[in-house]
Amino acid sequence: LGIPPLAASPARKELVTGEAEYTDDVPMPPNGLHAALILSKKPHACILAIDDSVAKSSPGFAGIFFAKHVPGINMVGPVVVDEELFASVVVTCVGQVIGVVVADTHENAKLAARKVQIQYKELPAVLSIEEAIAANSFHPETERFLRKGDVDHCFSSKQCDKVIEGEVQVGGQEHFYLEPNSTLVWTVDGGNEVHMISSTQAPKKHQQYVARVLGLPMSKVVCKIKRVGGGFGGKETRSAFLAAVAATPSYLLNRPVKLTLDRDIDMMITGQRHSFLGKYKVGFMKDGKIRALDLEIFNNGGNSLDLSLAVLERAMFHSDNVYEIPNVRVKGKVCFTNLPSNTAFRGFGGPQGMLIAENWIQRISMELKISPEVIREVNFQRDGSVLHYGQKIENCTLERLWNQLKTSSDFLTVQQAAKLFNTDNRWKKRGVAIIPTKFGISFTAKFMNQAGALVHVYTDGTVLVTHGGVEMGQGLHTKVAQVAASSFDIPLSSVFISETSTDKVPNASPTAASASSDIYGAAVLDACEQIKARMEPISSKHNFVSFAELVSACYMERIDLSAHGFYKTPDIGFDWGAGKGNPFRYFTYGAALAEVEIDTLTGDFHTRQADVILDLGLPLNPAIDVGQIEGAFIQGLGWVALEELKWGDAAHKWLPAGCLYTCGPGSYKIPSMDDVPLKFSISLLKDAPNPKAIHSSKAVGEPPFFLASAVFFAIKDAIIAAREDAGLSGWFPLDNPATPERIRMACVDEFTKPFINSDFHPK
Ligand code: MTE
Ligand code: LUZ
Ligand code: MOS
């Protein structure tokens, strides 16, 4: 494993100015139509009748399609095929697709879709995790267990000084990618083949869904994508059913069709990060050492399984965060609810699992009156630790990172200054927290950890690389091009990655799980080395002045200058029957400090300082990685403290139960410039080569997301100071997100007393 020369990546001006072409910017082909969706208005109901007569005379109308028109199979789903493309008899959420209208313009398509009248017979709906548990409403066969040691024996034989029990509610999150879902699909050769451009992390899934729904072989369906304007997991599966919806009228009318969702529709129907409920029982010693964890977690899957089981599993794997726990039992279940199916989102359940852990860690600290950093430190895992699912920790850099962060952020000084500030101020309080993380790298489904690439070397010495991964702003193509450039020892400008396409690299896993530069980098390197080996007899004979000359000489000798590369992640696999195995190739570690100031009277806060450190091995491209860390942290900050999803409920006057209320930035607060920490420092651990991935690097995309929970726990620290002024010192729950309402009401004072509910005074 060598270190590649770091070719500086040229700034992509067009991405910043908004000139880069995204799916909806691609010019509509001649004869093209625009699609709009006909959506369920009920969370759970039988469809009694559909009247589309008025819609058909709407201006520009060109066609309307329902379940009965689907030429192939009307069922889709990424893992379990449990979802109708078009609802036929029963709808199970508001926003479920019932049909599609095509018209000459986007506006006319929407107008016609609105004129479709549907009669429903309403059925009882389940809308939250709590309701699902009460109604025993779970997705089939989604119960999972992990065990280590003997939890029952540990509790019953009184091996712990103290035992706490509690619940943690973890909120969901909208992806809010800048580019909403968009697909342009057209037929080829008189309607026999279907091609599409789709904004997706999973072109292969689009190909698969479209082939299935239209009754075509996958070999006649192509999906391409140049770049995605953000996916964050939201386009790992949920984009694929939209492509299949758009493909139906395109195929049946033999005309191009474009489906681009408006922001409100995208938010309403494509699902979010899973909310979770965690119920914990934790036993520990007077010195803070954890003895046992008995944990039950539930996630809100919505109305189809989608990736919810894999998300639950990743949450279970991450429910120890970085702590050594001798006795563990984790039980998990996926709730079925009448909400749009929830899906992958940066971290994929990991942050939810870790947030539950940090909640009970923080509580142990309050119970023992020992600072939370000390509780964290005495329980750190290290090399040789065996996790609750059997994987053994190797090359652990946690302690190094942690100590470096404490020094570089001046943790003790910041903490003392905050304390002093708090004694001087009654209505403003500061809080500080420092949080560690470890994130498992690999898809937990072993078969997904495979990658293909196609490398062509042309006679002018330029190289065209294609691989199975998608560029969605994370810089994947730049990193992969660097790998090819360093392999051939040519400038980065000689390597080009044009697009991702199912007809160049087949059967690609979604671009997800943060491992794309690891696996596509390795697949491209494999292809480059094959070509280099074929060129070797020529290159070793002469001293060529340029790569172009070498390539031309090879060409004249009839050497194949194109290669398919492949990589499969070694030494991984997990057996859920036994509950043991190595789901991950390695872990990316990180830690963050945050200092916040809250206004106890309004519940407002701002982050005064955030210091983040990550171990990224020998990074492939530190500039990209710092951007990923900044983005992940701010996105995580939105999740823990700003973004709150709200739906209508039975009591609501005008909003149907299960209908998303927060359908745009007016009602759903995503982070803005103003939310960026006033002092924001990112650093990477030095001299920490990772023997497990390409050029000794580490994956970066998801791991830093959870570190924003430092902001959450800093807020909680500030609230603790406010409550001390009111004479309260006991533990209290704080659910995420820590919105102004929650912060305000937790800062108990004479003004909140009339409104206090039991949430702030737990029994
Ligand atoms: N960065 C940008 N700019 N846009 C994105 O959509 N997705 C994130 C992360 N960083 C995303 C991003 C998610 S959820 C993942 S899994 C990784 O990128 C995927 O890309 P990688 O495997 O190349 O890291
Ligand atoms: N997607 C997936 C993921 O299908 N499996 C995973 O393990 C995963 N992990 C993180 C993000 N996406
Ligand atoms: Mo990321 S949630 O793996 O797309």
Q: What is the CATH number of the domain that holds 481?
A: 3.30.365.10
Gyration radius (Cα) of the chain, Å: 27
From the CA of 701, give the closest atom in ligand 3. Answer: 1
Residue 5 has pLDDT above 50, yes or no: no
Residue 103 has pLDDT above 70, yes or no: yes
Distance in Å, CA 515 to ligand 3 centroid: 10
Q: What average pLDDT score do residues 2-13 get?
A: 54
425: left (phi over 0), alpha (psi -120 to 50) or beta: beta
Please tell me the distance from the alpha carbon of residue 383 to that of residue 619, in angstroms, as a whole number: 22
313 tagged catalytic: no
Q: Would residue 6 count as lying in a domain?
A: no
When pLDDT is cut at 50, 70 and 90, the band that residue 17 belongs to is confident
Q: Is the CB of 363 under 6 A from ligand 3?
A: no
Residue 138 has pLDDT above 80, yes or no: yes
431 and 345 in one domain?
Answer: yes
When pLDDT is cut at 50, 70 and 90, the band that residue 18 belongs to is confident
The H or E element spanning position 743 is helix 740-746
Residue 261 has pLDDT above 60, yes or no: yes
509 and 594 in one domain?
Answer: no
Please tell me the distance from the alpha carbon of residue 23 to that of residue 260, in angstroms, as a whole number: 9
Q: What average pLDDT score do residues 216-223 get?
A: 98
The residue whose CA is least distant from atom 18 of ligand 1 is 701
| Start-to-end CA span in the chain (Å) | 57
Q: Would residue 186 count as lying in a domain?
A: yes
CATH of the domain at 100: 3.90.1170.50
555: left (phi over 0), alpha (psi -120 to 50) or beta: alpha
The edge-to-edge listing of strands for the beta sheet with 450-457 is: 495-497, 463-467, 450-457, 562-568
Average pLDDT, the chain: 96
The H or E element spanning position 692 is none
288 and 246 in one domain?
Answer: no
555 and 611 in one domain?
Answer: no
Q: What is the DSSP letter of 638?
A: I
Ligand 3 pocket test: pick from 702, 705, 706 the residue with the most ligand atoms within 8 Å of its Cβ: 702
Q: Is the CB of 643 under 6 A from ligand 3?
A: no
673 and 637 in one domain?
Answer: yes
Separation in Å, CA 467 to CA 477, 506, 748:
9, 9, 56
716 and 640 in one domain?
Answer: yes
Question: What residues contact residue 610 under an 8 Å CB cut-off, 6+ apart?
Answer: 592, 593, 594, 595, 633, 677, 679, 680, 681, 710, 711
743 and 679 in one domain?
Answer: yes
Q: Would residue 726 count as lying in a domain?
A: yes
The whole domain housing 47 covers 33-123+181-260
ipTM of this complex: 0.98
From the CA of 699, give the closest atom in ligand 1. Answer: 24
486 and 434 in one domain?
Answer: no
Question: What residues contact residue 449 under an 8 Å CB cut-off, 6+ apart?
Answer: 442, 443, 509, 515, 519, 568, 569, 572, 585
What integer pLDDT is reported at residue 758 of this predicted model? 52
Number of domain units in the chain: 3
717 and 597 in one domain?
Answer: yes
What integer pLDDT is reported at residue 10 of this predicted model? 54
Strand locations in 617-697, DSSP E?
679-684
What integer pLDDT is reported at residue 2 of this predicted model? 40
614 and 534 in one domain?
Answer: no
Residue position matching structure tokens 């709200």: 646
285 and 196 in one domain?
Answer: no
